[in-house]
Structure 1
Amino acid sequence: MLDLPRARDRMVNIHVGRRGIHDREILQAMREVPREAFVEPGFEEFAYEDTPLPIADGQTISQPYIVAFMIEMADVKPGDHVLEIGTGSGYAAAVMSRIVEQVYTIERHPGLAETAKRRFEKLGYQNIEVRTGDGTKGWPQAAPFDAIVVTASGPGAPLALQEQLDVGGRLVIPVGDDPDLQRLLKVTRTGAATYSEEDFGGVRFVPLIGEQGWSENGTATDVGRPLRHPHPISLPDMIAAAAEPLPNFDDPAFGALFDRFADRRIVLLGEASHGTSEFYRARAAITRRLIERHGFTIVAVEADWPDAAAIDRYVRHRRPRTGTGAPFQRFPTWMWRNTDVAAFTDWMRRHNEKLEPSAQAGFYGLDIYNMSGSIGAVLDYLDRVDPQAAKIARERYGCLTPWQHDPSTYGRAVLTAGYQKCEKAVLEQCRDLLAKQLEYAKRDGTDFLDASQNARLIASAEHYYRIMYYGGAESWNLRDTHMFETLEHLLHAGGPNAKAVVWAHNSHIGDARFTEMGVVRDELNIGQLCRQRFGDEAALIGMGTHSGTVAAASDWDGKMEVKQIRASHADSYERLCHDSLVSRFLLDLGRDTTLRERLLERRLERFIGVIYRPETELGSHYADASLPRQFDAFLWFDKTAAVTPLGREHARTGVPDTYPFGL
């Protein structure tokens, strides 16, 4: 059973404290107030996740960090009288009540107001008064207030609320002309008729309905004093000015744009999805340039080691291994068995043709443990012995992406007794699978892993597969650590002058310390590890898109579909790039310091893996990030197309059927 007090402490320490909330009164109040008492029945186990949760009347309880952030902005202190607009579940009012003398809170939904009252009474919080009504008019009878916190977004700061502030009082409110694109504003009353304003960045709240907010039909009403715009030049305009337009992929000028990174030992190239042609073609063009002009000889990709080894033998004109079959036959086959990868590996083969083996460029997989093959082995076994457990396993593996935090998905992936009973047999099957792959490697004297490394991998296999079997952050961290260690071994085997290009998803490439992965969930990735180990010798380059199509499945081990990508979210980095009106560009995040500072503010960033669920996109494919800290540069393609999987129509004559894709 979940230890709720312990989970509450963890929430305060990780989701609130580590993200910059240092006010001791707020941290202590959040430790005292049981958030599980303010969520809907059935959601108690998710009460201490840093995510909004649904409540009655189509409303939400805000994520804990936002609650803490707004209270800290309001600078509430013991002895204060505070007005809250938008009671909702009552959680924010409860937290403030542990700090201030009196809280007044207004809710326009009678049912929510009554429920909040009952919660306060049950918890013994006697310094909270609840009223049902139009919050935009405030509470004149209780004014003036030391602070007013508005938990819904208006087109501006209502005049009534400004007038009910005491001199020195603070009004915190999300505002914006677009209900989907808002700024968090702090208005301080500095005199009888004077106010100052501070802008604390982009947010997204439900609309503030009322006489001085939004009308029911979404039009603005009388909002009172107009707001200043502190930044006369918009971010999209600044991006457009700094953007370096990208030529066609086949134009040598495309690759030449990346000569600025040629002095790095490692260039890591990301992608916002595993099924977008433009991302593969861009990486191929950059990598060709780095190999031809700048001495890079290692192409290390987010792929299984044994499958990539078959491609490596092809590009380096080595005989194929016998008995191994064609590579990349398991889900997700399209990730590497596509026309863009085939074209690039054909180029590598031509490039290597007249070179000595020591000078040839190689193609290597970073996933030594053959993760997708191992998952496939688990599913094959469970399909035979326990189909219900297999169904749960497919759901669980579909949730192994670090940005997935949909409570309903986690709820469906709860382990069953049958699933647990299968563990020993599954682990044995995975160990056998790995041992068989490593046996092939031992027969090949040119393989970079020596016998002692093979022995180490076999010895640690059970630990890895046990973690992978149950999923979670530890599985992610162990996998990325092993990918990084594989990269280190490749560089070591190549000698002191060896240089590598890494192809992997943005979630692996972008420094995890500056994303929700690292800040909230203590997850790391290969980009972070490269920066920590190699410093400025590593360049991290991300990619993104606004719309188009993508090759992806709906569930793990599901059928590949060509899906429409939804237009990027209004509060995302992708929308800023789209609004720049530059269709394809390179953004060097280290060149324009003013732009970099403006972009540092955390925003949403989209992550599409081998699974894409447009219907739950905001919850399942977006995460907070700080783009300029995450990457050194960012490539933008406004509209993109899905990769084309290899089929029989792409078969070529004159080569063995396993050379290289088994067509």
Structure 2
Amino acid sequence: MSSTRHQDTRTDGAEGDARLLRALKPHLRAFERADTAPGLLELIGDARFVLIGEASHGTHEFYLERARLTRRLITERGCTAVVAEADWPDALRVDRYVRGRGDDVDAEAALSGFERFPTWMWRNTVMREFVEWLREHNRSVPAARQVGFFGMDLYSMYGSIRAVLHHLEQVDPRAAARARERYACFEHRGGEDSQAYGWGAAFGAVASCEDAAIAQLMEMNRRATSTLGQDRDEAFYAQQNARLVRNAEEYYRTMFRGRVSSWNLRDTHMVQTLAALEQHLRATRGAAPRMAVWAHNSHLGDASATEMGEQGEWNVGQLVRERWARESVLIGLSTYDGSVTAASEWDGPAERKRVRGGLPGSYERLLHDSGMERLWLPLRDHLEVAQLLHEDRLQRAIGVIYQPATERQSHYFHTRLPGQFDALLHIDRTHALQPLVPERHWHEGEGELPDTWPSGL
């Protein structure tokens, strides 16, 4: 993610960063837990969309502090939805469990629907504890105040097809027959391999199923608007699955033509999901909902303030700000070093990998040099901080793959932090997220867990 207009070394190097850090230090605030960080809840205020990011998909502390902060938003700020970078049908299984509507016996069973790589992203020890807490919370409040758990990603094209058909078979067999006829297009052109379908449709090897997906979505839209009573939730869930199929069909066709287009389609779908949820929850619960949104920093930090934006990409954070303005708050998380759960290649096994120290010229190195183990930096409406950090700096992003050998090329890009986030939480040393699915390579990683291994919400 490099750009020719950026330079990896800053003009005045270490001395300049030392001066910058001295000027920045009065604004750095120590914290022990995100939910008790001095001033953070005040910065969030009455925001209805609190976007809480992560610098990797495999860091224990990121998941833990995000869950802690979300619990506070639920109990004190009326948050009624957690929306994650997860597949809609799999997240809906968790939602049914936490709201007492499903058949799963515990949180681990409810999370077992996340079978697609990377399983550890949602099937991990922190999520298990948070989901159990959410179920207990929901048991203690009226139905209108129960907190739902939803996914906003679009990878589950075939799972969503099955979900639409299952719903219609329960409520309208004739409509199910029409849907089955339309969706047969996907089976004939890709089996259940989304990428094989996308490649074939992109290069003309097979005909596109776009018209079939659109026709089914239009029918589900009509059904959802005419459904009342207790079935209203189920009609909306099915409608959202149909929306996902339509958007995923376009996404998989586009991903073979250009990264920017497919990225933009994916993040646009995520925001469409937030908007649809907002409208549905407002209509069914009688009040504007508040949501905690969980995803990677690269999705939730405003892309217009990053190298991504210069390349023509937009993301959830940017679109949410454009749509909901100051009703939204964007919070990023970062780390300097430690360990992380990640794979070496797509669809590879989970490994516990050592995270290298942040590169010179990066935000990670700058905050590490403060000597503070945990700090947060307020950015919204802080003119002095904005002036101090007006230049682009490197920022690290580890997804589900971590390749230390090519770290600069694979995991760093330039950002302007004050435009990217409203607040940044930095935990200097972090640990690998523990998967619930047994992973031999993970246990062969960084050795035994230390006695100080963090746990508990």
Q: Same fold (TM over 0.5)?
A: yes
- Between the aligned partners of 2:17 and 2:239, the Cα distance in structure 1 is 62
Distance 1:266 1:456, change over 3 A: closer
Q: How far apart are the structure 2 equivalents of 1:273 and 1:256? A: 25
- Which one of the candidate residues 600, 606, 614 is aligned to 2:390? 600
Match of 2:144 among 331, 336, 358: 358
SS at match of 2:255: helix
Q: Which residue among 98, 103, 126 is the counterpart of 1:340?
A: 126
For residues 565-604 of structure 1, what are the structure 2 equivalents within 5 Å? 565-590=355-380, 592-604=382-394
- What pairs up with 1:453-602 in 2 under 5 angstroms? 458-495=245-282, 496-519=287-310, 521-590=311-380, 592-602=382-392
1:635: which partner in 2? 425
Q: Give per-residue Cα distances to partners, 1:621-662, cap 9 Å, x unaligned.
A: 10011011100000000000010001479xxxxxxxxxxxxx
Asked if structure 2 preserves the Cα contact closer than 8 Å seen for 1:427 and 1:466, the reply is no
Partner SS state of residue 258, structure 1: helix
Residue 255 of structure 1: how far off its partner (Å):
8.6
**What is residue 183 of structure 1 aligned with on the other side?**
11
- Does residue 308 (structure 1) correspond to residue 99 (structure 2)? The answer is no
Distance apart, 1:356 and its partner CA: 2.0
For 1:284, the equivalent position in structure 2 comes to: 67
Structure 1 536/350 Cα, relative in aligned 2: closer, same or farther at 3 Å?
Answer: same
Distance between the aligned counterparts of 1:647 and 1:272, measured in 2? 22
Question: 1:565 and 1:372 mapped to 2: Cα distance?
Answer: 35
8 A Cα contact 2:389 2:417, kept in partner: yes
Q: Deviations over 1:323-373 (max 9, x none)?
A: x99410110000000001111111111100022222101100011452797
Deviation of 1:422 (Å): 9.0
CA-to-partner distance for each residue in 1:65-87, whole Å, 9 max, x for gaps?
369xxxxxxxxxxxxxxxxxxxx
Q: Which has the higher helix share?
A: 2
Q: Does the C-alpha gap of structure 1 residues 458 and 257 become closer, same or farther in structure 2, counting only changes over 3 Å?
A: closer
Q: Is the 8 A contact 2:30 2:37 kept in 1?
A: no
| Structure 1 residues 597 and 358: CA distance shift in structure 2, 3 A | same
- Aligned residue type for 1:489: A
Q: Structure 1 unaligned runs (5+)?
A: 1-48, 52-62, 68-179, 185-201, 204-228, 375-380, 398-414, 650-663
Letter of the structure 2 residue corresponding to residue 366 of structure 1: M
2:25 counterpart (240, 245, 259): 240
Change (3 A) 1:183 1:332: same
In the alignment, which residue of structure 2 is the partner of 1:223? none
Query: In 1, Cα distance between the equivalents of 2:18 and 2:201?
Result: 56
Shift of the 444–612 alpha-carbon distance from structure 1 to 2, 3 Å rule, reads farther
Provide the residue aligned with 1:189 in structure 2: none
1:328 aligns with 2:110: no
Q: 1:297 matched to which residue of 2?
A: 80
Contact 1:304–1:371 under 8 Å retained in 2: no
The separation in 2 between residues aligned to 1:550 and 1:457, in whole angstroms, is 31
CA distance in 2, matches of 1:274, 1:566: 16
C-alpha contact 2:202 2:256 (8 A) present in aligned 1: no
Contact 2:157 2:248 in 1 (8 A): no
| Structure 1 residues 242 and 181, CA gap change in structure 2 (3 angstroms) | same
CA RMSD of aligned residues (A): 3.8
The structure with the largest alpha-carbon Rg is: 1
Deviation at 1:526, TM superposition (A): 0.5
Q: Counterpart of 1:295 in structure 2: which amino acid? A: G
Equivalent pair of 1:310/1:327 in contact (CA under 8 Å) = yes
1:115-136 deviations in whole A, cap 9, x for unaligned? xxxxxxxxxxxxxxxxxxxxxx
Over residues 14-49 of structure 1, what are the superposed CA-to-partner deviations in whole Å (9 max), with x where a residue is unaligned?
A: xxxxxxxxxxxxxxxxxxxxxxxxxxxxxxxxxxx9
Write out aligned runs for 1:367-446 (5 A).
Answer: 367-370=153-156, 424=206, 445-446=232-233
Structure 2 contact 202–257 (Cα < 8 Å) conserved:
no
Following the alignment from structure 1 to structure 2, what is the Cα–Cα distance between the partners of residues 275 and 426? Answer: 36
Q: TM-score, normalised by structure 1?
A: 0.53
SS at match of 1:328: coil
Compare relative contact order (CA 8 Å, sep 6+) and give the higher one, 1 or 2. 2
Distance 2:366 2:308 in 1: 22
Task: Give the counterpart letter for 2:265 in structure 1.
Answer: L
Alignment partners' CA distance in 2, 1:66 and 1:647: 41
Tell me the secondary structure at the aligned position of residue 314 of structure 2: coil
* Partner residue in 2 for 1:108: none
After superposition, the Cα gap between the structure-2 partners of 1:66 and 1:524, relative to the gap in structure 1 and judged at 3 Å, is: closer
1:423–1:644 distance in 2 versus 1, CA, 3 Å: farther
**Contact map agreement 1:278 1:641 (CA 8 A) in 2:** yes
- Code of the residue aligned with 2:365 in structure 1: it is R
Which digits, 9 at most, give the CA deviation of each residue in 1:146-196, with x for residues without a partner? xxxxxxxxxxxxxxxxxxxxxxxxxxxxxxxxxx85416xxxxxxxxxxxx
Specify whether residues 559 and 480 from structure 1 end up closer, same or farther in structure 2 by C-alpha distance, changes over 3 A only: same
* SS in structure 2 of the partner of residue 600 of structure 1: coil
How many residue pairs are counted as aligned between the two chains?
A: 390
Match of 1:263 in 2: 46
Q: If each structure's strand is expressed as a fraction of its own residues, which one has the higher value?
A: 1
User: d(CA) in 2 for partners of 1:528 and 1:270?
Assistant: 13
The answer on whether the counterparts of 1:262 and 1:290 sit within 8 Å (CA) in structure 2 is: no
> What do residues 90-116 of structure 1 show as CA deviations (whole Å, max 9, x unaligned)?
xxxxxxxxxxxxxxxxxxxxxxxxxxx
Corresponding position of 2:101:
318
Return the alpha-carbon distance in structure 2 between the equivalents of residues 351 and 600 of structure 1: 42
- Deviation, structure 1 residue 619: 0.5
One-letter code aligned to 2:298? S
Asked if 2 retains the 8 angstrom alpha-carbon contact of 1:273 and 1:609, the reply is: yes
